[in-house]
Structure 1
Amino acid sequence: MESEREHFNLSGPLHLTFVDWSNAHHRRSVAASLVQGVYILERDRQLKREHPIALAPPWWEFFHFKLLRQLVDDADHCTFGAIYEYRPPTPHGHQSLDASPRYVIAFRGTLTKAESFARDVELDLHIIRNGLHETSRFEIAIQAVRNMVASVGDSNVWLAGHSLGAAMAMLAGKTMAKNGTFVPAFLFNSPFLSAPIERIKDKRVKHGIRIASSVITAGLAFASKRNYNNQQADSRSVATDPFAALSSWVPCVFVNPGDPICSEYVGYFEHRKKMDEIGIGAIEKLATQNSLGGLLMSAMGRDSEALHLIPSAVLAVNLSPAQDFKEAHGIHQWWRPDLQLQSNIYKYT
C-alpha cells in the first residue's frame, strides 16, 4: 500500500526549485532526499513498481542526480544503498556549484516491511554488539565507497544515511578517515547506544550522572590500556592514537532531542565541553573515546569499537517540537523549510 510520504510531489522539498550548494539548508535537504530515494527504491522493488509507476526517481531527478547503481544486500537481495551522480543543468548565476558533490552514496535505515525487516533488524543488533563492521552488508558498502573515492577523490564524494543507514555511513566514513581520507558525511538520526540521560529534565542530576559515568569509563579504559601495553593511555601520540587521527574528519550529525536513538549525541559533545571548563577535561578525553560496552567486549577478547564515538562533528539539533517518536526519528523532518536548527562545531584537541 502506498503512503503519501513516498510521493515526492506530496511530501518532498518542492520549495527547493534551485540548489545553492553553499547553503547548509539546501545541502541537508538534498542529502536527506537522496536517502529517502533509497527507501523508496526498496519499496518500489517490494511492490514491483517499475517505470512509469515507480515512485523513487523524483527523489533524485528533481535535484539533477542520476542513479548510477543500487547497493544490494547479498543475504536478502534488498536495496540498502544507492550511488548517485550529480549532473547539473547549464549553470545559472544563482547556482553555486563549487560546493556540490559529484557523487553521493546514500544508505537507508530499517524498513518495517516483511521482505527486508528481518535482515535490517539483524543489522540493528550488530550495531548494539559493535559488530556492524563484521557484516557482509557493510563490506559491500565500504567497497563501493573505496572504489568511488579511488576513482574521483574524496572531495567529490558525499556519504549520507538515516538511522541504520547513518550507522553504515558513519562506519564507512570512520574507516576511510583512519587511512587519511576524509569524506564529507550527512548523518541523520544516527544511533547512539547509551542510557537516555539526555531526557532527564534536571540539569544538575543529568550533569552529575554524566560526570560519574565519565569517571567510571575513564578508569576502566585506563586500567584496560595499562594492562595491555603497560603505559599510560594519555601518553600516546597522535600518530598512534586512532581517535586523534580521526579528528580531522568532521561529519554533519543531525539529531532530534525527542528521538532516544540519537539524542545522546547532544550530551556527548556538550559534556565534553563542560568537563574542560571545570578543569577535568583529561578524564573526559579518555572517557569520550570509550564505551562501557566496548570495554567489556574488549576484555572478553572481542575486537570492538563503539560506532557512535567520534572526535569531531558539526552537530545540528532540531529544536522544532515533534508530536511523537515517529516524527522525531523520521527522515522527512530534515528538509522542512521551517526547521528550527541549532548547530555547533565540535573539534577534538
Structure 2
Amino acid sequence: MASEREIFGFSGPLHLRVVDWNNPHHRRSIAASLVQGVYIIERDRRENRHGQNALAPPWWEFFNFQLNHVLIDPDDQSFFGCIYELRIPDHYYYNHLTQNYPKYVVAFRGTINKPGNRTQDLKLDLQLMLSTLQQSSRFQLGLQCVQDLVWKAGDPARIWVAGHSLGSAIALLVGRHMVRMSIHFETYLFNPPFSSIPFEKIKNEKLKNGARIATSILTAGIAAAVNINSIKPHQDKEFLTLAAWVPYMFVNPSDPICCEYIGHFDHREKMMSMAGGKIGRIAAQNSIASVIANARGNDCDAFHLVPSAYLTINKSPCQEFKQAHGVHQWWRTDVHLEYKLHQYR
C-alpha cells in the first residue's frame, strides 16, 4: 500500500494551481515537488506500479512539466534522477523573459533506506562522507546530462538543478563543476549533508563556538603541516570563482545531517578576521578529511564547503528526524522560515 506522502492529491502543494514564477515560495515548492517526483518514480519501479497505477506523474504534471529523461544507476538499476521539461509554447517563452521559470529541471533524489535501494545508496552516503562522491557513476551521469542540456537549451539561466539529501550533494557537485566552466544555473539544495560533526546541535554557545574554532585551527594546522598550498596551488582562485555562484540552500535546525550550515557561515566570517584571515581562509576551503586525502595523493575537495549560499532555515518545531529531514516541509505554507544571504569576500 502506498502512503499518503507518496500521493500528490494528499500531500502535494495543491495550493499552487496558479504559479507565479517570480515568487520564491512557488519556485521552492515546485523544485521540491520535482525532487519528490524522483523518489516516487523509483518507488513506482520497485513496486511495479505502471500506467494508471503509477503515482509519480502528478508530481510534475500538476506544474505543466513533462518527463524528458530518467537517470539510471548502472550498479543497481535504480532511478536516481529525472530531467523535466516545462511545456510552455515558444512564443510565451520568448515574450516573458522576465519570468524566473526554467525550461529544464534536473532533479536528484536522496537515500532510500529500503530493500533494493539500501545497499547502493548507503555506499554513496559513505563516499559522500569521505569526499569521494565525485568518483561515483551517479555524479558522472548527472554532470553529463547537465552539460548536454546546456548545449541543448543554449541559455543556462533556463536550467535548474535540484536535489534532496544525497541528491543535493550530487546537485552541489554538478554546480561546482559547471561554475568552473563559467556556467551558472539556479540550484536548489534541500537538506544538503554537511560532512562534519554537527556542532549546531550543541546547546552551550561557548562550547559550540569553541569546538568550531578548535576545528578550524586544527584544519589550518594540518594543512600547513602537509603544505596544502603546494598540493593545490590554485585553490584560492577556484574558491573565489565559485563565490559568484549562489545556490539556494534549505536547512532545518533539527536535522543533524544539514544543520551545521546554520552556524558554519557565521563562524567562517569570524575566523576570517583572525590572524589576518589566513586560518579562516584555509578552514573555509578545506576539511580535515580533504586535507589528509590530498596529502596522500588523492585529488579531493571538501565540496560541501560552498563559498556563497542563500540560506533558508525552517524554524518551525519538528517532532522527529523524518519530519526535519523530509522534502515535504519545503512546500508547506504554515512553516516559519528565516533567510540570509552569505557571500564569500
TM-score surpassing 0.5? yes
2:157 is aligned to: 155
Matching of residues 217-232 of structure 1 within 5 Å: 217-225=219-227, 228=230
1:77 is aligned to: 77
Q: TM-score, normalised by structure 1?
A: 0.92
When the two structures are aligned, how many residues end up with a matched partner?
340
Distance of 2:229 and 2:22 partners within structure 1: 49
* Bigger Cα displacement from structure 2, 148-157 vs 23-32: 148-157
1:29 is aligned to: 29
1:179 is aligned to: 181
The Cα of 1:137 is off from its aligned counterpart by 1.6
Matching of residues 1-349 of structure 1 within 5 Å: 1-88=1-88, 98-152=99-153, 153-225=155-227, 228=230, 241-276=237-272, 281-349=277-345
The Cα of 1:219 is off from its aligned counterpart by 2.4
Give the letter aligned to residue 126 of structure 2. Answer: L
Q: Residue deviations 1:206-257, cap 9 Å, x none?
A: 112211211221222234336726xxx9xx789x621111111110111101
Distance of 1:227 and 1:185 partners within structure 2: 30
Q: Secondary structure at the match of 2:226?
A: helix
Q: Secondary structure at the match of 1:42?
A: helix
Distance 1:76 1:97, change over 3 A: farther
Q: Secondary structure at the match of 1:52?
A: helix
Kindly indicate whether the alpha-carbon contact (under 8 Å) linking 2:228 and 2:291 is maintained by their aligned counterparts in 1. no
The Cα of 1:125 is off from its aligned counterpart by 1.0
The Cα of 1:275 is off from its aligned counterpart by 3.1
* Bigger Cα displacement from structure 2, 120-129 vs 159-168: 120-129
Distance of 2:282 and 2:291 partners within structure 1: 12
Give the letter aligned to residue 264 of structure 2. Answer: Y
Q: Secondary structure at the match of 2:163?
A: strand
The Cα of 1:278 is off from its aligned counterpart by 6.6
Q: Secondary structure at the match of 1:28?
A: helix
Q: Secondary structure at the match of 1:241?
A: helix
Q: Secondary structure at the match of 2:291?
A: helix
Kindly indicate whether the alpha-carbon contact (under 8 Å) linking 1:20 and 1:97 is maintained by their aligned counterparts in 2. no
Structure 2 unaligned regions, length at least 5? none
The Cα of 1:55 is off from its aligned counterpart by 0.4
Distance of 1:27 and 1:345 partners within structure 2: 17
Distance of 1:278 and 1:221 partners within structure 2: 17
The Cα of 1:150 is off from its aligned counterpart by 1.6
Question: What percentage of residue pairs aligned between the two structures are identical?
Answer: 49
The Cα of 1:190 is off from its aligned counterpart by 0.8
Distance of 1:293 and 1:278 partners within structure 2: 23
Kindly indicate whether the alpha-carbon contact (under 8 Å) linking 2:34 and 2:59 is maintained by their aligned counterparts in 1. yes
Distance of 1:173 and 1:303 partners within structure 2: 18
Distance 1:276 1:306, change over 3 A: closer
Q: Residue deviations 1:152-187, cap 9 Å, x none?
A: 121110000000100110100011111211121000
Structure 1 unaligned regions, length at least 5? none
For the aligned residues, what is the CA RMSD? 2.0
The Cα of 1:272 is off from its aligned counterpart by 1.5
Q: Residue deviations 1:106-141, cap 9 Å, x none?
A: 000011221122111111111111111111121111
Kindly indicate whether the alpha-carbon contact (under 8 Å) linking 1:20 and 1:96 is maintained by their aligned counterparts in 2. no
Distance of 1:226 and 1:33 partners within structure 2: 41
Distance of 1:21 and 1:272 partners within structure 2: 33
Give the letter aligned to residue 311 of structure 2. Answer: L
Kindly indicate whether the alpha-carbon contact (under 8 Å) linking 1:214 and 1:284 is maintained by their aligned counterparts in 2. yes
Kindly indicate whether the alpha-carbon contact (under 8 Å) linking 1:22 and 1:96 is maintained by their aligned counterparts in 2. no
Distance 1:54 1:253, change over 3 A: same
Kindly indicate whether the alpha-carbon contact (under 8 Å) linking 2:274 and 2:280 is maintained by their aligned counterparts in 1. no
The Cα of 1:24 is off from its aligned counterpart by 0.8
The Cα of 1:15 is off from its aligned counterpart by 1.0
Distance 1:270 1:15, change over 3 A: same
Distance 1:192 1:276, change over 3 A: same
Kindly indicate whether the alpha-carbon contact (under 8 Å) linking 1:272 and 1:281 is maintained by their aligned counterparts in 2. no
Distance of 1:222 and 1:198 partners within structure 2: 27
Q: Secondary structure at the match of 1:70?
A: strand
Distance of 1:295 and 1:248 partners within structure 2: 24
Distance 1:280 1:325, change over 3 A: farther
Q: Secondary structure at the match of 2:117?
A: helix
Distance 1:309 1:85, change over 3 A: same
Kindly indicate whether the alpha-carbon contact (under 8 Å) linking 2:228 and 2:295 is maintained by their aligned counterparts in 1. no
The Cα of 1:279 is off from its aligned counterpart by 7.3
Q: TM-score, normalised by structure 2?
A: 0.93
Kindly indicate whether the alpha-carbon contact (under 8 Å) linking 2:310 and 2:341 is maintained by their aligned counterparts in 1. yes
